[in-house]
Structure 1
Amino acid sequence: MKSGYILSGRYQIVQTLGEGGMANVYLAYDLILKRDVAVKLMRLDLRDNEAAIRRFRREAISLTELVHPNIVNIYDIDEDNGTQFLVMEYVEGMDLKSYIAQNYPIGYEKVVNIMDQVLSAVEEAHAHDIIHRDLKPQNILINADGQVKITDFGIALAASEYSLTQTNTLMGSVHYLSPEQARGSVVTKQSDIYSLGIILFELLTSRVPYQGETAVSIALKHFQNDMPSVRDIDSQIPQALENVVLKATAKNLIDRYQSVSKMKDDIETSLSYTRNGEKKWEPTNLVEDETRILEPIQEKQVKKASDSDVMEKTLKKNAKKKWSKKKKWIVWISIIGALILFIAFIVAIAVSPKNVSVPDLQGMNKAEAETALKAQKLTIGDIKYRSSSKYDSGQIILSSPTQGSTVRQNSKVALVISNGPEKNVFGNYKGQSYAKVKQLLENKGVTVIKETRASDSIAKGEIIKQSVAAKKKVIWKQTTVKFIVSSGAKVITLRDLTGYTEKSVEDYAQELGLVLNVENGSSTDSSDSELVISQEPAANTRVKVGDTLNVVLGSVDASSATNATESDSSSEDSESSAAKNFSLNVTIPYQSLSTSSTSSTSSSSSSSALNTVQIYLQDDNHNYSDVYQEFTISSDTSVTLPFTLSGSDTGKYKIVRDGQVIAEKTNITN
C-alpha cells in the first residue's frame, strides 16, 4: 500500500509499520477525527479467501467488546476494494521483543510490573471467552511511559490456518507454542498461560527456552524436554519468581495454572520477603502415556498353561472321533446362518445414522451454513431473525444445538440470523441545548459536527437545524449529524446619526430591529425642522437586535432645516451611491503534516493529509462571527474574497488553517 493512499475516503496511509503472514500494518491519519491510527490490512493474496475473510471479520467484531487500558482499542472495521481492514489505536513505542533487546537486563520489579499489565489484559480477554492463541513479545507493545498494550487478540485464529505453510510466521510463533498446540490438540485458556510463561522466561533471560533449526524440532521440544532453569542463567533470580515460570509452563494441564488470575496473584507476591527460601516447584502429576514395567511371568504359570493346552487337544481329538457324518450338515447350516446374521449386522450399522458434531456456523451466511451442515449430513431447521451490532445482516448469530454439540445425522439445526444493527428514530433536537444533545448522541456512538450561525430568534447555544431528518431510522454508530447552532443575535455597528431627521432615524431603527426612543432637546413641540443632535449609544458602538436607541432632536431655523434635510437626503444618496464592490485575491499556503514548515510544494502534498481552512469576512453583507467558507486543500490555493462597503465603513478578513490563524487584515477600504 503506497503512502498517501486513502482507505474508504477517510484513512490516509502514512507509512508501513510492519508485515505479517496474514496482514500488513500501516500508520495512517484519520481525516475526520484528526488523529493517527494503525490500520491492519488483510494481505491481497487472501482477499478472495472466504473463510479467512469471515473469520477476520468475526474475530474483529468480537474484539470491540474488549475495553481495557492494556489492550489496543479497535476503532473501525471496514473494507476497501474488497480488502478487509481494521482501524486500531496507534501506540507510539516499540514491541516487547525490541524492548528486551535494548534494555536487558531488566530489573525484577520492572519484569513483574510488565507481566502484571500483560496478565490483566489476558484476564479481561478470557473473561469474554476470547483466547489469544498467539501470545508473543512481538504482539505486546510498550510506550515510553512503560504502559503495555496487547494487540492481535483473536486474529491469530484466522492466521493459524496459514502458519503451517509459511515458515517465517511459524518460526516467529513456535517458540511460545504450548505442548497441546504442538500436538494439534484443543486450544484452551491454559494454552495462553503457557505462552505467558515463555514470555516471562524471555524477560528474565533475554532468550527463549528452546532453540532449533526447524519449527518442527522446536515444537517437539515443547512437549518432550524439561523447561530449562532461569536460575542457571541468572542465579540472582528469586526462586519464587522461577516457580511462576515453571508452573505456567507445566506440560500437564493439571499442574499448570488453572486461570490467568491465579498466575497474576502468584507473580505479584513473588518478590515478597515472605517467600524467601521457597523451594523449587515440582510437578505432581505424571505425563500421560508413561512407560510401564510389566511383572515377569512365573514358571508355574507357564507350566499350567502347557498342561491345559495338552488336555484341550486330547479332548478335541476324542470329540472329533465321535462326530458322525450325519451331523456335519448341521454345523454347515449354523456357520452359514451366523455369517448371514453378521453381514446383516454390519449393513445395519453402516446405514444407520451416526453421531456427528455441529460445526461452528457463527458469522456464516445461510448458503455457507447449508454447505457446512450438508458435509455433516445435517440440515437447516427453523430460522429466526434478530438485531445484532456484532454481526452484519445475513450472518448467523448462533445455532441450536450449539457449536460442538453431538447429534445424530439427518438432524435439523435451528439458526438465529442477524438482520443488522438495531435502527432507532433519530429524533428532533431543534431548539435544544447543543452541549446536552452532543453528549447524549456521542454516548450512543453518533459522530456530531457543529456549525454556528447568528440568529435573532434562537438563543445562543441552541440548535437551529439538523442534517438528519427527525423521523429517519438510523444505526447510531454509523451516523454522522451536522447541527447548525445559534451564536446569538447578529451584532450591528451604529452609524453616526447626527443631522438625521426623525423620519430617517425611525427608518434606520426599524431596518436594524432596534427600539427607538426620541426626545426633544429644545422644546416640547416637535417640528419637521428638528434634527438629531445626540445619540445613545454613541456612533460605532456594537449593538444587537432588540437593543434601545436613544436620540435627541434639536430645533434649527427653517432654512437650516431645509438645508439639513436636503443635506441628509443628499448624504444618504451619496452614501448609497458610494457603496463600493471590490475583491481581493489571497493565497493560502498548504502545510504538510510531516514537516514543521508553513508551506509545502504540491509534489509532497500527495503523501500528507489535507488542511482544513475556514475564512471569515466582514462587510455590508457578511458578519465576522460567521464562517464565510470552509474547505480542504492539498496544495497552495488562491481564493477571491468579495467586499461591499458603504460610505466610510471598513472591511476585514481572517483565514484559519487547521485551527490556527495564518492571515488577518483589518481596515480594508478598497
Structure 2
Amino acid sequence: MLGGRYRITRSLGEGGMANVYLAHDLILDRDVSVKLLRLDLRDDPQTVKRFQREGLAATELVHPNVVSVYDVGEENGMQYLVMEYVKGMDLKAYIQKHFPIPYQEVINIMEQVLSAVSVAHEHNIIHRDLKPQNILIDENGVAKITDFGIAVALSENSLTQTNTVLGSVHYLSPEQARGGMATKKSDIYSLGIILYELLTGTVPFKGETAVSIAIKHFQSEIPSVREFDPRIPQALENVVLQATSKRPADRYESVAAMADDLETSLSPRRASEGRFVPDDGADNGETKVLDKSALQATLAPDSSDKAAKATKKKKPMHRRKKWLIGGLIALLVMIAVLVLAFWLGRPRYADVPNVQGLTVSQATKKLADQNLEVGTIKRQASNRVAKNRVIKTDPTRAHAVQQKSKVKLIISSGPKLVRVGNYIGQSYTRAAALLKARGVTVKKQNQTSSDVAIGMVMQQSIQAGQYINPKKTTVTFTVSAGQRQLTLANLIGKTKSEVQNYVSRESLNVSFNYKYASEKKDVTIAQSPAAGSMLSEGTTIVVTLSRGKKPVADSTPKVNDFDVTVDIPFEQAASSSDSTTSDDATSSSESTTESNVIQIYLRDQDHDYSTVYKQLTIAQDTQVTLSFAVESGKSGGYKIMRDGKVILADNHVTKNSH
C-alpha cells in the first residue's frame, strides 16, 4: 500500500530507472499505474531529481495523447508517481502484432503523437527519448506518450551538458549521438524514425554496439521506405526524409509543420511530388577530407631542395645494404601475396533484395541475381498482399548476408477467412460483437414476431459453417422486433361477420357477449378495449352484440344464464434441433413451435353452430369460459375446432350438467 490509498496489484514492467505496477486507488475506486523508483537508485540525488522532473514535466501537460500524472509521493524514502492506467500495449508491440499497418492508420497514429509533442514543445519541454516503447496504444486505438524521465526544460542550464548522451540509440538524432545538446528538432528526428518504423516494421540502422548505431545516425543516409514498399507515396516518404535530415536546419521548423505535411501526404494532388533533397550547402560539423591536389601541394618539397639534391653526387651503395633492401622488398611482396590471398578467400556478402509482392519464381530469380538461394517457404494469411505473393523475407530486405545463404520466404495464403457460426436464437448484440471483433461487417434488419423474443436473431444471411472474407462479405441478421403493435379500430355498428374478418386480418382474438338492445341482432353495441387503444398481436378483445329488442315478459320463457369452463389442450408441432459448434459460438439448439388457432362454436338462445362464438390463438394448454343463455327445459351445446377438426364437443349442456 502506498500513501494509504494505492494498493499494488501486479507488476506491469521494469525499466532502467523505475519499475511500473498496476494499482487500485481505494479512494476514487479506479485502476492506476504506479511508477516506483528502484531501490538501488533511491540514494542517487541525480536519479531522484530526474524522477521528480518527470512528474513535474508530465503534470504541466494536459492533453488526451499524454499519459496523465495524478499524484507524486514518497513512501519510506521511495519516490513514486501515480499515473493514468492505459490498458493496451506499447507502439513497439503494436507494430510487431499488426504490421503491415495501413498508411491511413499510420498517419492517424502519428498525428496523435505529433499533437502531444507539439503541446510539450509549446511548454518548452523536449522529450529527448521519443521511441515506440514510450508510446502506448489503448484498446480504442488512442496513442498516449509517457516517460518524460529525461525530458528537459529549455530553461534548465544544468541539463544542457554536451558531454552527456541520454535516450535510445536507435531513435537518437545525429547531434545527440555526437554528445551535443538536444533541441526541439531532435524530437522531430526521433519522430521521423518512428514514422519509418511504422512504415517498414523495423528501425533504419542496426549494429552490434550502441556506438556503431550512433555513428550510422550521423554518417549514413536513411534507407528509402519506397525501396521497402514501392506503393508508399513519394509525399509520405518525403515526410520521413525531411524529419530525419542530418542537419537540424533541413528538418521541419516545428512539429506542427510536420503534422500539416503528413496530413496531406496521401492526397492525389501530391502524387507527382519529387523526392525531398536537403540543402547540403552548410557545414554539418563532420570531419572533412582534403582535396588530393591540395594534399600534394602541401607535401611537395621546395624546388630549391630539389636543385640542391640534384647537385649531390650519388655515393656507391654498399653490398650488404643492397641485400638488406632486397630482403625487405621480398618480405613486402610476400606480405602482399598473403593479404591478397586472404582478400580473395574472404566470405563475400550480399544485401537481401526487396522481393515483396513477387511470385515465388520471380523472387527466386531476384535472389539468384544476388547469389542467394531460397530457403524454407512459409505461408501466412494476409489481407494486404495478394495470394501466392511474397509478404516478406527472413532475413529482411537490405540485410547483409553471406553469399550462397538461404533466405526464408513468407508467402501470402490470401485473406484470413472467418468461419460463420450458427447465431439463430442468440442475442443480436452478442452475435454482432463476436463477428465485428474478427473484422466482419454486420447489418441488422428488424422483423416483427410473436414467437421470438425481442433482440434475438431469427435468420442470418450466411449459412453456419461457411468461411467468408471479412473485407468483402457482409453478414445480415434478421432480428425480432417483438409482436406487431396496432391501433384498435372502432367496431361499434359492425356486424358479427365484419368483426370476425377484422380480428382475423389483424391477428387478434375475440370474445362475443350479447345484450338486449334496440339495435338489430348481431350488431356491435360495445367493445373493450375502446377504439384507438394500442394493442399487440394476439390480444383478446371483448365485443358485445345486440340480441335485439327484449320480448314481452309474459310471453318469454325463462332463460337460464350460466358459465361452462373448458380446458383446451395445446398440440405441439414437430420440433427440430440443430446443434452447431463454431469458432464464434457455442452449441445452440432451436425449436420451432407453431401456435394453435382455435375456433369455438356455441349453441344456445343467442348462438348457433353456423357462426363462430370465439376465436383465439394458443401456444400452451388454455382454459376458456363459455357463457350460455338456455331456455328452461332445453339444453345448449359447444364444439371446439383446431385446424378444421373438432377436438372437443358437448351437445347437452344444461345449467346443472357442468
TM range (shorter): 0.3 to 0.5
TM-score normalised per structure 1: 0.42
Q: Which has the larger radius of gyration?
A: 2
